[in-house]
Every structure is written in structure tokens, then in C-alpha cells.
Amino acid sequence: MPGLEPLCYSAAATALGPWVMARRESNIVRAREFTISRDLRINEMIRIPQVRVVDEDGSQLGVMPTRQALVMAQEKGLDLVEVAPMAAPPVVRFLDYGQYKYELTKREKEAKRKQRAVEFKEVRLSPKIGTGDFETKVHRAVEFLEDGDRVKVTVRFRGRELTHPEIGRTLLAKFGDEVKDHGTIDRTPVLEGKSMFMTLVSLHKPRVHEHRTTGAKPDGAPAPEGDGAFVPEAEPEPTPSASPAAEAAPAGE
């Protein structure tokens, strides 16, 4: 539109045409590649004249030219990996880079498998809940809190029950007192619409649930069939005392 100046490029660059714009975009891409490559430089990517070398077993080999360190690494069948680029001079180490990346990925997967995010569970009550049902809900909430989860306790009102919100507030206060050994009230009872709720925070650390392999069985136990579901054992067929032909033969023959 006339009267509007370009936001990213100067008037001179616009006058030179798309060649300047393409050149600048190319420089941006090169800068990004350079930033990524500096995360962990290996072998010929290390262009510092001198480096401090650490052997594969952790012993110090001192400061030497980068080319000499690269030749030593190649003679051992290893890679030259820059492990401390901000040191003076940078520190490099002889490593099997492929094996290093594999072990690093494996450790990250193992750590992720053992991690357990805190979940938000909900327990629902009614103003006319019975004593037995109330105790069941409390027991369920305690299980959630023991696993380290947060619990939202909700009281739902129906019809004219909404005219007595103090019943819900008293019920939630009683609920919080029942689980005080496992969790604390993070948010006091609040009435929103036809529901009143509060949130509980666990006093326990999140419990890690190990993922069991499908079909895993204790030593000596019979292996399950199919997809791991329980299959009752077939009863052994009775052994006939005589052949069917002998049983069918008439007496005296």
C-alpha cells in the first residue's frame, strides 16, 4: 500500500530487489545452524587451534593442537567431543559419540518412565450422602492422596438444596478433617453455580508406578495364553477302561 514503509528491510535493500532479501535469509539460516552445532561439537566441527584433552578413561593428556588431538582420537577409533566449550582452552574428550548418544537417550527414557506427573482427581458428594457412602469417598480420597495426587472434593446441589449452602460447607469441612493426616486444604470451599468444591494437596510424595511387561510372571508360574488373560486349565479326560468296540460287543461273543 502506498505510504507504508517495509518493517524488516531498509529502503536501500528493497530497491536492490529480492537478491538482498534472499541473502539475509540465508545468513539467518547459517546462524541458526551454527548455534545448533555449538551445542556439542565433534571432530572437524571443533575449529579452535588448541584444546585440553581428556582420555576415554578420564586421564588428563594436557593442552595440544586440535589436529593432533583429532588424530589421536581417530587412531583409537573414537570421536573427539567438545565437552566444555567455555573453558580456556576448551576441553575435549575421546568418546564413542554414537554410544554416548545411545546411553544418554536410554537414561532419559528411563528417567521419564520413572517420573509420574501429579494428577488431579475428583470426589463427588451430595448433601444427603449416607454415612457408609461418605466413608467410602473418604477412603478413595485417601488413596489418591497417598499416591501424591491433588483431590477436588465437590458437593453438588439439586433443586431446593441450593438454598442451604451451609450443609455443603459443613460436609466439606468434615471431609477435610477426615483426611488431614494425608492432605491439607489448598482451596477453601467455594460455591460456583450449583456446586461447592475445595481442593486438597497431598502430604505424600508422588508414588512411582513401575510399568510391568505384559505377560510377566513369577518364576515357576505357568505362562498365560493369548493376550495374558486368565485361562482356566482344561480338566484331564478320563481314561477309558476298555476300547469302545469292546464295550459295544454283546456278552458271550
pTM above 0.85, yes or no: no
Q: Looking at the structure, do residues 129 and 196 belong to the same domain, yes or no?
A: yes
Residue 51 sits in a domain whose CATH number is: 3.10.20.80
Q: Which domain holds residue 197?
A: 120-202
Is pLDDT at 32 greater than 60 in this prediction? no
Question: Domain total for the chain?
Answer: 3
Lowest mean pLDDT among 69-83, 106-120, 208-222: 208-222
Is pLDDT at 115 greater than 80 in this prediction? no
pLDDT value of position 245: 43
pLDDT value of position 195: 92
pLDDT value of position 224: 46
Q: Looking at the structure, do residues 68 and 135 belong to the same domain, yes or no?
A: no
- Does 228 reside within a domain? no
Q: Looking at the structure, do residues 151 and 94 belong to the same domain, yes or no?
A: no
pLDDT value of position 56: 87
Other residues' Cβ atoms within 10 Å of the Cβ of residue 66? 21
pLDDT value of position 34: 36
pLDDT value of position 108: 84
Residue 158 sits in a domain whose CATH number is: 3.30.110.10
